[in-house]
Structure 1
Amino acid sequence: MDQKYSRRQFARFAAATAAAITFKPFYILHAKPKADGEIIGHGSHKYRVQQGWGNLDSSKFPINNCHEMVQDSKGRLIMVGDEVKNNILIYDRSGKLLDSWGHEFPGGHGLTLWNANGAEYLFICDTNGKVFKTDLKGNILLTIEHPSKVGAYKESDPFKPTETAIGPDGTIYIADGYGSQWILRYTPKGEYIDKFGGSGDLDGQFSTAHGITVDYRDKANPTLLVTSRVHNSFKRFTLDGKYLSTLFLPGAFVCRPVIKNDTLYAGVCWSRLRYYNQTPNSGFVTILDKSNKVISNPGGTKPEYIGGKLQMMVQDKPIFMHCHDVCIDQDENIYVCQWNAKKTYPVKLERV
């Protein structure tokens, strides 16, 4: 079940795991990907690493950061990055490049696929301050700019959108995760509705509202899951922005929540290794079941619950540097996009 986050609770987690974290191997500070073939993960969710799955000729198809990936109805894997020579790379499941496009998104970061009664669209967040709706060929159909243009922000307020989600009625939710920490709501036509959240440590506030998705696992009562990365948490809200609860994932600086069937997946960009600080090159993947219990951490420590409380989770093996997003295909393989990982192309984790 979702756990309510508090500083007191975090202190208890910290005290319980201090010895283990203090003696964590120092090699994790300088993590380097290993060769293909290693089996990682826990319990029923284990995976074989395919490190070179997405490798391309970097002289023709360069990348800086592989930020996010989605899969369309044809099974194509669509990735966004911040290299304007080819912001979008489209793969098949074998790792073959099918197409590339996009030169307009120097801060290409968030990528959401919306299937509107069979017509598919992409929503691309550029952290330089714009959100674009495109078709699958890259034609821009709608642009949402700085919220000051509709009276939602002051002109001086930073707007650096990191993610979108589309509600069941077509409402557009924009997470201003690198900016002013609001979740902004717009109509399907891009007309401003309202905002909720903001920066802070209260239950309904965020510290790096990096990702957002609509959770349909309770079909009668869909809700929003919003990342609060510095809080090591996902926070749950009603579709109109009322706070419900917090899912605390101690040690894990999670990126956006990704739901496939009844399972929740997320890339972990950093974990808390030394003195509980955000540590470079300490990423892994975390996987939760329908009851929001962590069941596997590929590349991370085995999840442990004591008295119903999840214990600190950190990187265990230096497979990844900074896991920024995951995409799950129909066979439950995981495709991992990394930020700040020496221009690494997406990595495939094959379900075993």
Structure 2
Amino acid sequence: MKNTRREFLKNSALVGAGLSLTPSYGFTIINKPNLSKNSIGHGDFKYRVHKEWGNLNPQTTPVKNCHEMVMDSKGRLIMVTDHVQNNIIVYDKSGKLLTSWTHQMKSGHGLSIFNEGGEDVLFITDNNQRIIKTTIDGKVLMELPNPKKIGLYQERERYRPTETAVAPNGDIYVADGYGSDYILQFDKNGEFIRKFGGKGHQDEKLNNAHGVAIDDRDPNNITLLCTSRVHNSFKRFTLDGQYLETIFLPGAYVCRPVIDGENLYSGACWSRLKYLERVPNSGFVTILDKNNKVVSNPGGTKPKYKHGELQLMLQETPLFHHCHDVCIDEDKNIYVCQWNANKSYPIKLERV
């Protein structure tokens, strides 16, 4: 009989939440598990919602926007925010606060993790033209150069980076998603290599290059996925910047692509209505399989294909405001960070 680790932990958690051993009566039901009765999502990707999972004391650990989250090699969940008191918040998987620290970034936005010689390092992106590489506890190891200050941008071009991704060889890719929509490539020492993309509507161009990720699902053909959010798309490039293909996700204003196993996950910050306008408070999560076909939209409409073409996707369940990022743990649970969501903390989606 097949019994996955995730199924074992799920069943154990249900027993542990609902039963208590007492001297007089043996096992007695003392409370019900704090789980939603209804699941969200589709197919094999359905989830129970833990809306209060990441709630903390806003007086001591405040947030403005919970922008992005990664999991380190010890299983800790590390989140970047734009609150100067807590740029970084570290949770355990129960939602308990482990620690927090700050570099006084007023626009903390992007967070990537990379294992360098057996040690986890972070790349933190501040929209205010700053990207730093740090240890897990916040010691600054390197700061990437500002492309405007080293002659890579024209005078009229803006630089407001949103995200980084690190290739296996240590090369660093920067998405200038709120600026001029370039992808900038640096080597592991911070030396500039090239830039590509840029704002436009051609295949090789981007519009709101909000996220970037290394797609290593095929180890023999590692590529770069770049968000083109206004285009409702991820665009694939070689690691030296050559355009390969577009993954079109109609209706989903996707944030960064997140690779986990054979799947691709993303938060959709907004969805559309039929007249192709983004709608406030209309976010959901979207999940793609190894063939980049959408298989589930937790909080959104069931994915539908007609003649091989993906149809418009919309928010269905009014659970999320603006899904800005997702993080996946080893049991395939999803942690959802939100932007512009009334200073809310992350929500956990428990895989069922």
Q: Percent identity?
A: 61
Corresponding residue for residue 342 of structure 1: 342
Rounded Cα–Cα distance in structure 2 between residues aligned with 1:199 and 1:276: 20
Find the residue that maps to 1:230 and give its secondary structure.
Answer: helix
Moved more, 65-74 or 132-141: 132-141
Task: Check the 8 A contact 1:131/1:143 in 2, yes or no.
Answer: yes
In the superposition, relative to structure 1, how do residues 37 and 144 fare at CA in structure 2: closer, same or farther (>3 Å)?
Answer: farther
Find the residue that maps to 1:67 and give its secondary structure.
Answer: strand
Moved more, 35-44 or 298-307: 35-44
Of structures 1 and 2, the one scoring higher in RCO (CA 8 A, sep 6+) is 1
Q: TM-score, normalised by structure 2?
A: 0.89
Q: Which letter maps to 1:201?
A: H
Q: TM-score, normalised by structure 1?
A: 0.89
Rounded Cα–Cα distance in structure 1 between residues aligned with 2:183 and 2:205: 10
Task: Check the 8 A contact 1:235/1:247 in 2, yes or no.
Answer: yes
Corresponding residue for residue 136 of structure 2: 136
Corresponding residue for residue 97 of structure 2: 97
Rounded Cα–Cα distance in structure 1 between residues aligned with 2:103 and 2:183: 27
Q: Which letter maps to 2:313?
A: M
Corresponding residue for residue 21 of structure 2: none
Corresponding residue for residue 167 of structure 1: 167
Rounded Cα–Cα distance in structure 2 between residues aligned with 1:242 and 1:333: 34
Corresponding residue for residue 58 of structure 2: 58
Find the residue that maps to 1:82 and give its secondary structure.
Answer: strand
Task: Check the 8 A contact 1:129/1:145 in 2, yes or no.
Answer: no
Post-superposition Cα deviations, 1:296-323, rounded to whole Å, max 9, x if no partner, equal 0000000000101100000001010000
Q: Report the Cα offset of residue 103 of structure 1.
A: 3.3
Long gaps (5+) in structure 1: 1-34
Q: Which letter maps to 1:94?
A: S
Task: Check the 8 A contact 1:67/1:109 in 2, yes or no.
Answer: yes
1:284-323 to structure 2, matched below 5 A, reads 284-323=284-323
Q: Report the Cα offset of residue 154 of structure 1.
A: 2.8
Aligned residues: 318
Over alpha carbons, which structure has the higher Rg?
2
Corresponding residue for residue 49 of structure 1: 49
Long gaps (5+) in structure 2: 1-34
1:158-307 to structure 2, matched below 5 A, reads 158-273=158-273, 275-307=275-307
1:116-127 to structure 2, matched below 5 A, reads 116-127=116-127
Task: Check the 8 A contact 2:148/2:159 in 1, yes or no.
Answer: no
Find the residue that maps to 1:149 and give its secondary structure.
Answer: coil
Task: Check the 8 A contact 1:215/1:259 in 2, yes or no.
Answer: yes
Rounded Cα–Cα distance in structure 2 between residues aligned with 1:104 and 1:173: 24
Rounded Cα–Cα distance in structure 2 between residues aligned with 1:239 and 1:144: 19
In the superposition, relative to structure 1, how do residues 71 and 176 fare at CA in structure 2: closer, same or farther (>3 Å)?
Answer: same
Q: Which letter maps to 1:88?
A: I
Post-superposition Cα deviations, 1:106-164, rounded to whole Å, max 9, x if no partner, equal 11000000011311100011001111100101111111242022221134421110000
Corresponding residue for residue 111 of structure 1: 111
Task: Check the 8 A contact 1:323/1:336 in 2, yes or no.
Answer: yes
Post-superposition Cα deviations, 1:184-225, rounded to whole Å, max 9, x if no partner, equal 011111111110000000000000000000100111010000
Q: Which letter maps to 2:136?
A: L
Corresponding residue for residue 30 of structure 1: none
Post-superposition Cα deviations, 1:263-310, rounded to whole Å, max 9, x if no partner, equal 100000000025220100000000000000100000000000010110
Moved more, 49-58 or 143-152: 143-152
In the superposition, relative to structure 1, how do residues 205 and 348 fare at CA in structure 2: closer, same or farther (>3 Å)?
Answer: same
Q: Which letter maps to 1:295?
A: V
Q: Report the Cα offset of residue 37 of structure 1.
A: 4.8
Are residue 146 (structure 1) and residue 142 (structure 2) matched? no
Task: Check the 8 A contact 1:301/1:314 in 2, yes or no.
Answer: yes
Find the residue that maps to 1:148 and give its secondary structure.
Answer: coil
Task: Check the 8 A contact 2:85/2:104 in 1, yes or no.
Answer: no
Rounded Cα–Cα distance in structure 1 between residues aligned with 2:310 and 2:223: 23
Are residue 88 (structure 1) and residue 94 (structure 2) matched? no
Q: Which runs of 4+ in 1 moved over 3 A?
A: 35-38
Corresponding residue for residue 3 of structure 1: none
Q: Which letter maps to 2:246?
A: T
Task: Check the 8 A contact 1:36/1:52 in 2, yes or no.
Answer: no
Task: Check the 8 A contact 1:163/1:176 in 2, yes or no.
Answer: yes
